[in-house]
A and B are shown apart, each in its own frame.
Chain A
Amino acid sequence: MKLWISASLILLAGSLSAQSVQQTKGNFEDKFRQLDEILPTPNIYRNAAGEPGYAYWQQQVDYQIQITLDEELKRLEGSLDISYQNNSPDTLRYLWLQLDQNIFRDDSMSELTNTFAGIGRRGPGTSLANGDSPAELSISELRRQQFMADNELGYDIQSIEAANGDALNYVIVGTNMRVDLPRPLSSGDSFSLSIDYAYNIVEEDAVWARSGYEHFPDDAREGGNHIFLIAQWYPRLHAYTDYEAWTNREFLGRGEFTLEFGDYEVDITLPADHLVSSTGELQNPNQVLTATQRERLREAENADRPVFIVTAEEALENETEGTEDTKTWRFEAKNVRDFAWASSRKFIWDAQGYNQGGEVQPLVMAMSFYPKEGEPLWSTYSTASVVHTMEVYSRFSFDYPYPVAQSVNGPVGGMEYPMITFNGPRTEPPEDEEEEDGTDVEIGEIEGAIEGEIEGDSDVATESDEPGERTYSLAEKRFLIGVVIHEIGHIYFPMTVNSDEREWTWMDEGLNSFLDGIAGREWDPDIPWGVEARDITGYMESSNQVPIMTQSDSVWRLGPNAYTKPAVALNILREVVLGRELFDFAFKEYSRRWMFKRPTPSDFFRTMEEASGVDLDWFWRGWFYTTDHVDISLDSIHSLRIDTADPDIDFDRQRQEVKDEPISLFIERNRALGLIPWVDTNPDIADFYDENDRFTVTNAERNSYQSFLDGLDDWEREAFERAVEEDKNYYILQFSNLGGLVSPILLQLNYVDGSSEEMYIPAEIWRRTPEQVHKLLVLDKELEGVVVDHQWETADVDIENNSYPRRIIPSRIEAYQDKDSSGLVYRDLMRDSQVELDSDEDEDETGEDAEQEDSESE
Chain B
Amino acid sequence: MIKRMINRSAAFAGLLACLCFSAVFAHQQKSTFIEVLYNQRSGNMEISQRFDLHDAEHAVQQLFDSRADILDSRDTQVSFYEYAAQNFSIERPDGSSINLENLGFEIEGKFFWVYQQAPLDPELSSLRLSSTVLQDLWADQVNWVNVERDGEIKTAVFQTQNNQIEISFD
A141 to B24, CA, bound (A): 19
Set of chain A residues within 8 Å of B135, measured between Cβ atoms: 125, 127
Set of chain A residues within 8 Å of B25, measured between Cβ atoms: 413-414, 483, 486-487, 509, 513, 563
Q: Is the CB of A117 within 8 A of B5?
A: no
Q: Mark B53-91, 1 if CB is under 8 A from A, else 0.
A: 110010000000001010110100000000000000000
Set of chain B residues within 8 Å of A424, measured between Cβ atoms: 17, 20-21, 23-24
Q: Is the CB of B153 within 8 A of A473?
A: no
Quick one: which of A73, A119, A141, A473 contacts B157, CB cutoff 8 A? A119
A814 to B44, CA, bound (A): 10
Cβ-closest chain B residue relative to A150: B6
Set of chain A residues within 8 Å of B6, measured between Cβ atoms: 146, 150
Q: Which of B1-60 contact A (CB under 8 A)?
A: 1-9, 11-13, 16-17, 19-29, 31, 33, 35, 37, 39, 41-42, 44, 46, 48, 50, 53-54, 57
Q: Is the CB of A559 within 8 A of B144?
A: no
Quick one: which of A126, A558, A738 contacts B160, CB cutoff 8 A? A126
A530 to B28, CA, bound (A): 13
Q: Is the CB of A542 within 8 A of B155?
A: yes
A131 to B161, CA, bound (A): 12
Interface size on B, residues (CB 8 A): 73
Q: Which of A202-225 contact B (CB under 8 A)?
A: 203, 205-206, 208, 210, 214-215, 217
Q: Is the CB of B162 within 8 A of A738?
A: no
Q: Is the CB of A473 within 8 A of B57?
A: yes
Q: Is there a chain A Cβ closer than 8 Å to B131's Cβ?
A: no
Set of chain B residues within 8 Å of A490, measured between Cβ atoms: 26
Q: Is the CB of B17 within 8 A of A122?
A: no
Q: Is the CB of B159 within 8 A of A811?
A: no
A217 to B11, CA, bound (A): 9
Q: Mark A318-350, 1 if CB is under 8 A from B, else 0.
A: 000000000000000000000000000000000
Pick from A132-140, A453-461, A689-697 the stretch touching chain B.
Answer: A132-140
Quick one: which of B16, B21, B29, B42 contacts A814, CB cutoff 8 A? B42
Instruction: Give the interface centre of B3, B28, B48, B69 by most chain A CB atoms within 10 Å.
Output: B28
Quick one: which of A151, A214, A808, A814 contacts B5, CB cutoff 8 A? A151
Quick one: which of A146, A438, A476 contacts B11, CB cutoff 8 A? A438
Q: Is there a chain A Cβ closer than 8 Å to B142's Cβ?
A: yes
Q: Is there a chain B Cβ closer than 8 Å to A679's Cβ?
A: no
Q: Is the CB of B140 within 8 A of A124?
A: yes
A74 to B141, CA, bound (A): 30
- A562 and B71 in contact (CB under 8 A), knowing A127-B135, A475-B53? no
- A812 and B2 in contact (CB under 8 A), knowing A413-B24, A424-B17, A557-B144? no
Q: Is the CB of B5 within 8 A of A541?
A: no
Quick one: which of A125, A483, A824 contacts B141, CB cutoff 8 A? A125
Q: Is the CB of B72 within 8 A of A822?
A: no
Q: Is there a chain B Cβ closer than 8 Å to A121's Cβ?
A: yes
Q: Is the CB of A543 within 8 A of B153?
A: yes
Set of chain B residues within 8 Å of A74, measured between Cβ atoms: 5
Q: Is there a chain B Cβ closer than 8 Å to A479's Cβ?
A: yes
Set of chain B residues within 8 Å of A817, measured between Cβ atoms: 103
Q: Is there a chain B Cβ closer than 8 Å to A827's Cβ?
A: yes
Q: Is the CB of B72 within 8 A of A215?
A: no
Q: Is the CB of B69 within 8 A of A415?
A: no
A712 to B102, CA, bound (A): 71
Set of chain B residues within 8 Å of A203, measured between Cβ atoms: 5, 7, 9
Tell me the minimal C-beta distance from A256 to chain B in angstroms: 7
Q: Is the CB of A538 within 8 A of B110?
A: no
Cβ-closest chain A residue relative to B9: A215
Q: Is there a chain B Cβ closer than 8 Å to A813's Cβ?
A: yes
A118 to B157, CA, bound (A): 11
A215 to B6, CA, bound (A): 12
Q: Is there a chain B Cβ closer than 8 Å to A828's Cβ?
A: yes
Cβ-closest chain B residue relative to A816: B115
Q: Is there a chain B Cβ closer than 8 Å to A416's Cβ?
A: yes
Cβ-closest chain B residue relative to A828: B72
- A130 and B163 in contact (CB under 8 A), knowing A140-B19, A509-B25? yes
Q: Is the CB of A541 within 8 A of B153?
A: yes
Quick one: which of B1, B13, B46, B141 contacts A811, CB cutoff 8 A? B46
Q: Is the CB of A412 within 8 A of B160?
A: no
Tell me the minimal C-beta distance from A92 to chain B in angstroms: 31
Q: Is there a chain B Cβ closer than 8 Å to A14's Cβ?
A: no
Q: Is the CB of A542 within 8 A of B103?
A: no
Tell me the minimal C-beta distance from A77 to chain B in angstroms: 10
Number of A-B contacts (CB under 8 A): 241
Q: Is the CB of A813 within 8 A of B115?
A: yes
Q: Is the CB of B106 within 8 A of A821?
A: yes
Set of chain B residues within 8 Å of A125, measured between Cβ atoms: 135, 138-141, 159-160
Set of chain A residues within 8 Å of B13, measured between Cβ atoms: 426, 428
Set of chain B residues within 8 Å of A127, measured between Cβ atoms: 135, 139, 160-163
Q: Mark A548-565, 1 if CB is under 8 A from B, else 0.
A: 000000001111001100
Q: Is the CB of A831 within 8 A of B69?
A: yes
Q: Is the CB of B19 within 8 A of A208?
A: yes
Q: Is the CB of A538 within 8 A of B106?
A: no
Set of chain A residues within 8 Å of B71, measured between Cβ atoms: 473-475, 824-828
Q: Is the CB of A431 within 8 A of B67?
A: yes
Set of chain A residues within 8 Å of B21, measured between Cβ atoms: 413, 424, 479
A152 to B4, CA, bound (A): 9
Q: Is there a chain A Cβ closer than 8 Å to B154's Cβ?
A: yes
Tell me the minimal C-beta distance from B74 to chain A in angstroms: 7
Q: Is there a chain B Cβ closer than 8 Å to A499's Cβ?
A: no
Q: Is the CB of B159 within 8 A of A119?
A: yes
Q: Is the CB of B139 within 8 A of A126?
A: yes
Set of chain B residues within 8 Å of A150, measured between Cβ atoms: 3, 5-6
Set of chain A residues within 8 Å of B142, measured between Cβ atoms: 119, 557
A127 to B139, CA, bound (A): 8
Cβ-closest chain B residue relative to A410: B20
Tell me the minimal C-beta distance from B96 to chain A in angstroms: 15
Set of chain A residues within 8 Å of B155, measured between Cβ atoms: 542-544
Tell me the minimal C-beta distance from A58 to chain B in angstroms: 23
Set of chain A residues within 8 Å of B2, measured between Cβ atoms: 73, 75, 152, 200
Q: Is there a chain B Cβ closer than 8 Å to A403's Cβ?
A: no
Q: Which of A785-836 contact B (CB under 8 A)?
A: 798, 808, 811-814, 816-817, 821-828, 831-832
Q: Is there a chain B Cβ closer than 8 Å to A777's Cβ?
A: no
A431 to B2, CA, bound (A): 41
Q: Is there a chain B Cβ closer than 8 Å to A528's Cβ?
A: yes
Set of chain B residues within 8 Å of A121, measured between Cβ atoms: 140, 159
Tell me the minimal C-beta distance from B73 to chain A in angstroms: 9
Cβ-closest chain A residue relative to B66: A428
Q: Is the CB of B67 within 8 A of A130?
A: no
Q: Is the CB of B12 within 8 A of A205?
A: yes
Cβ-closest chain B residue relative to A501: B26
26 A-B residue contacts at CB 8 Å? Answer: A73-B4, A75-B2, A124-B139, A127-B160, A136-B162, A150-B5, A152-B1, A205-B9, A206-B7, A412-B20, A412-B23, A413-B23, A424-B17, A425-B20, A431-B67, A473-B57, A473-B72, A478-B54, A505-B27, A539-B144, A542-B146, A563-B25, A811-B46, A812-B46, A824-B107, A826-B71
Q: Which residues of A contact B (CB under 8 A)?
A: 73-75, 117-119, 121-131, 133, 136, 138, 140-141, 146-147, 150-152, 200, 203, 205-206, 208, 210, 214-215, 217, 254, 256, 411-416, 424-426, 428, 431, 438, 473-476, 478-479, 483, 486-487, 490, 505, 509, 513, 528, 530, 538-539, 541-544, 556-559, 562-563, 738, 798, 808, 811-814, 816-817, 821-828, 831-832
Closest 7 CB pairs of A and B: A125-B139, A424-B20, A413-B24, A528-B109, A413-B20, A138-B139, A130-B162
Q: Other CB < 8 Å A-B pairs besides A127-B139, A542-B146, 10 of them?
A: A73-B5, A123-B140, A124-B140, A125-B138, A214-B16, A544-B144, A821-B106, A822-B108, A824-B74, A828-B71
Q: Which residues of B contact A (CB under 8 A)?
A: 1-9, 11-13, 16-17, 19-29, 31, 33, 35, 37, 39, 41-42, 44, 46, 48, 50, 53-54, 57, 67, 69, 71-72, 74, 103-104, 106-110, 113, 115, 117, 135, 138-142, 144, 146, 151, 153-155, 157, 159-164
